[in-house]
Structure 1
Amino acid sequence: MAKAGERTVAVPENTVDRAYQHIRERTVRFGYRPGERINEVELAAFLGMSRAPVREALNRLIADGLVVMEPGRGFFCRRLSATEIAELYAVRADLEVSAVRRACAVADPDAVDAIAADWRASAERQADSTLDELVNADETFHIRLAGLAGNAERLRYLANINARIRFVRYINLEEPARRDASLGEHALILSAVRARDAEAAAALVAGHLSIRSQEILAHIHTGLARIYASDVA
């Protein structure tokens, strides 16, 4: 908030959006290490803009749960927490189970068929796909599946959760057995939605998204080992 006598300077929205997208991508992919301080001056210089849009973008990312601000110290990349990620997975499951139940009642059959066709095409390309492409395809499938229920606010929450758990998806989908299981589970979920079987679809989604705390902790340890690998002699 501006103090008395200060002139408020409007920051162009497209500049803030550009800063937001850049910093968000770096935090999601841990271009900043967990707990690393984010230097506003360096960021502004790199992006060719003033500090104002960078600071506004960082404040948005606090709301997203990707950045934290410590009074007197500045902005920092979020740390990894097994408890937080387990809670995010639980919320994600609640949202997606509710969505698939609703989708069974209201989904356009043509939209279901379009998702199925696109997913089959992704599955056929799996062997030649990069891990980035596999993760993006998985996220897209789940967002489109939830989108069949027609609730934009639900999708907004899911997009935020996806960003905060993405590194777990990366490590999960690196495992060939998990990738193969995921393909089969997606096909079963779509079949249940096509059949308007809400109970079966909900059970399949809940099972598909279940993850044990020990598994999350193992993924965090794996992720941290990779993030800090360059420091290992």
Structure 2
Amino acid sequence: MGDVIDLGHGFRAAVTERHGGVSVPPYDSLNLGLGSGDDREAVLANREIAARDLGFDADRVVWMDQVHGPDVLVAAAPGVVGVCDAVVTTRPDLVLASLSADCLPVLAVEAHAGVWGAAHSGRLGTAHGVAANLVSAMVGQGARVDRITAFLGPGICGGCYEVPPQMRRETARDTPEAACTTRAGTAGVDMRAAVTAQLGRAGVDDIRVDGRCTLESPELFSHRRDAPTGRFASFVWRT
């Protein structure tokens, strides 16, 4: 289990790691993704374990049906909010979750207005600007953009994320910062640089970064390294 991160004013974030659960290989062991192919009961048990260890009830969590898209939904109740890749809420009892295994988790809070959100920004989500959409949705719920704190969880780094040149061009069409060259000298995508740029252009100045590369960090799930594999979760909540 990862450390709890203090985002200030009673807001917390945490990124789970792959060990400490009940799933068997290749999902060993704290797999939180129901869509990964793992046994459903094992995943539900893992979600209970993660919530207990982080200090909240599993029945408070809002999950997304993630599809690598740009859409944001507003959560008014726990459970699956719907098909989206970003979610916002103002309900103080809810915990928001983003699942990933190479894609970039984006968490954001605006403590003064009591608005917070979570997004799943993979290559397609990054190309579509889902992180900027998250900020817009938070503003629509009363947040002030200059008061938003964003946290970028672990994701595959640009040095490891090799893609075909055409895919790099498509991803960087609206966000040039997405284009990079991998350590192997091939075309790559840097989702962390792209999302940082998108948030900055949206007006978010306070951006905190986990910095770990999922492919290079054995304590995290990585689809590129291990597929099939599990999913870790990035949570954000108010205490």
TM-score, normalization by structure 2:
0.23
Which one has a larger percent strand, Structure 1 or Structure 2?
2
Which one has a larger percent helix, Structure 1 or Structure 2?
1
TM-score, normalization by structure 1:
0.24
